[in-house]
Chains A and B, each alone.
Chain A
Amino acid sequence: MPEPAILVEDAVKRWRSGGEVHELRLPRLEVAPGERVALMGASGSGKTTLLNLVGGLLTPDAGRVVVAGVEVTALGEAARDRFRAEHVGYLFQTFHLLDGYTALENVELGAAFTRRLRRGARERAEALLRRLGLGERLHHPPSRLSIGQQARVALARALVDHPAVLLADEPTGALDEASAAVVLELVLDSAAEVGATVLCATHDPEVAAAFDRTVHLGAAGPPPSRSGS
């Protein structure tokens, strides 16, 4: 078996939210390169927290996280930032596009923080947006795009630097059913195109069904199971 794209071992993370203390315990999670995994679990079970542990925005209280051969838990903050810039693409439920920038510039920002990737970022961003059907909307601000178009821009931003791992947090949560299906397909196809491993938090079983397998988080949930693949 090749080295996993994502490896989480004995991870423990506690956090506070709404006055309650939550805890994520994950004895082991292994995701193969190119594999597409859905994360399910009740709210507060730690889906987003796990994504942030993998992306290096958070560090676990205990345990080990290895992503794309990089031991994230051994890195300092600045090194984790660099690691994230190079290897991780983020896709948020509310997209978090920046208003002061055009669609194209938002996508460019995805490659702005590593010198290696900055060269030709504009061309790549433009090509990617055209491929996603936004060729006519390159210079629009996000506020003037439909929600489906915003989702595409956010996706392009996450993938423009060809990350090893795409972390998606409820990417279809803000969309109606029809566009959700379209966007989900785009996410999976585009990720496959750049060879990105996908870790996607969702509460929707139908969404989860489109992935190679689903990991359930939370003590009450069933143990990790394999489906498909």
Chain B
Amino acid sequence: MVLRNLRRRPLATGLTSVSVALGVALFAAVGALRHAAEHGFQRSAGICDQVVGAKGSPLQLVLSSIYYLGASPGNVSWDLWRELRTWKGVRWAVPVAIGDTHRGYRVVGVSDEFFSRVRLPNGGEGDPLRLAEGRVFDYPPERFEALAAELDAGGDAHLEDHPEVLRAVVGAEAAAGAGLRVGARFAPAHGLEGGAAAERHAEAEVEVVGVLEPTGTPIDRAVFVPVGLYHLLAGHRPTAETATGGARDPRGLSAIYLRTVPGMYQIRIWRRLNDRLDAQSARPVDEVRKLFRLVGGLDLALRAISALVVVVAVAGVVAALTNTMAARRREFAVLRALGARRRTLLGLVTAESAAIAFLGGVLGLVLAGVLAAVASEYVRRNTGVALSVLPRPADLALVGAVTLAGALAGLLPAVRAYRTEPARVLASQL
């Protein structure tokens, strides 16, 4: 009977439930995305305990070195990396150089340890990086110094004569997006938005030797080359005034990924690094948490607005129902004459309101799913962070809450149905 009454007014029912749906969709999508985004970013942040980089904003360091977003705050020296490896409590330290791009994908210099040591958080021991095909490069960073010296000395030494350093291992999405299969050759472009032929490192074509499996992290969108190679490429060679070993020295490292022994060492190493004048250490997980706390105000505002939309929509349902009450007086009177109780009419109208709200709620979740899927695809394309936006129990609670709100608000018009005096209405011979 409730459904029949709703079907009698398809336009009003449709419009009001769609308006509820929009509010619910916004509310649920914002919530789901925030949750998924934080989760996704945290997962990516977990590849190391600490990121060491130049002094500056720790958030900028984390964003640039883990997510390859924005510019790096500066460089740290190779010496720091060498020193760090000897520190007690350091499990591994991977030197990282970021700067070049290839077809929009970041070219990231790392040591071979990156592939063997990095673990992606999965709740337990962590997942190692796996190769979909090919192999990783295994040219230890130490050997680059000798090579660099040889090249700098001039003479007959050319980079092309050292194919063993001109290697790349490519993230899954970069491989697909830039067509970098095993065996492909490319010349990385210098700088973030590079791409013009003149800016390419024409002297060095790099050969792809491996492709990684998808990870759902920015790793998917990166092209990894041996970290030492960076400093052999034109544009990264030091000039007289920058060869100081400081933060502006292009031979430096953008960052160092650090994994330490958990517990006391972690804190001690972090303090020790941050006491230095030439470096800082940031904990990616903390920085991401801070970032989301920062953004939290925004999504709280968004959720407040969408909650308001829901409230307005429910009010719309009530208004629509209330408008029909006068026209339905006769119907209510007849139902009373047929033996319907006042409470039955109260329930009928309340149920109609609740049903519209419920319909809107369910529709809203579907819409939220679509919205979240679109948004998470956007995030993945731009950061490589895969968001798993799944229906959450909170969403079902949301539908429940909206339905309840619909029912409660429906009491308003329902009271008018309740108050119908059948004898009077029927006597008026409408």
* Chain A residues with a Cβ under 8 A of chain B: 17, 48-49, 52, 55, 57-58, 77-78, 81-82, 84-86, 88, 90, 92-94, 96, 98, 100-101, 105, 109-110, 112-114, 157
Contacts and interface: CB of A to CB of B under 8 A. Distances in A.
B337 to A, nearest CB: 5
Nearest to B422: A57
B342 A81 contact: yes
A84 B337 contact: yes
A106 B426 CA distance: 17
B334 A114 contact: no
Interface of B: 1, 4-5, 8, 330-331, 333-344, 422-423, 426-427, 429-430
A98 B335 CA distance: 9
A17 B429 CA distance: 13
A110 B339 CA distance: 8
A20 B8 CA distance: 39
A200 to B, nearest CB: 16
Contact of A90 (B4, B337, B344): B337
B426 A113 contact: no
A98 B422 contact: no
B336 A98 contact: no
B338 A100 contact: no
A108 B430 CA distance: 23
B172 to A, nearest CB: 57
11 contacts: A57-B337, A78-B341, A78-B342, A78-B343, A84-B338, A85-B339, A90-B338, A96-B334, A96-B426, A100-B4, A110-B338
Contacts of A96: 330, 333-334, 337, 426
A110 B338 CA distance: 6
Nearest to A52: B423
A192 B189 CA distance: 99
B344 A113 contact: yes
A110 B334 CA distance: 10
A52 B175 CA distance: 83
Contacts of B340: 81, 85, 112-113
Nearest to A110: B338
A36 B426 CA distance: 23
Most buried by B among A58, A81, A86, A114: A81
B4 A113 contact: no
A101 B7 CA distance: 11
Given A94-B429, A96-B334, A98-B331, A86 B339 contact: yes
Nearest to A106: B334
B338 A77 contact: no
A81 B343 CA distance: 10
Contacts of A100: 4-5, 8
A112 B1 contact: yes
A48 B333 CA distance: 15
A23 to B, nearest CB: 16
Contacts of B1: 112
A77 B346 CA distance: 15
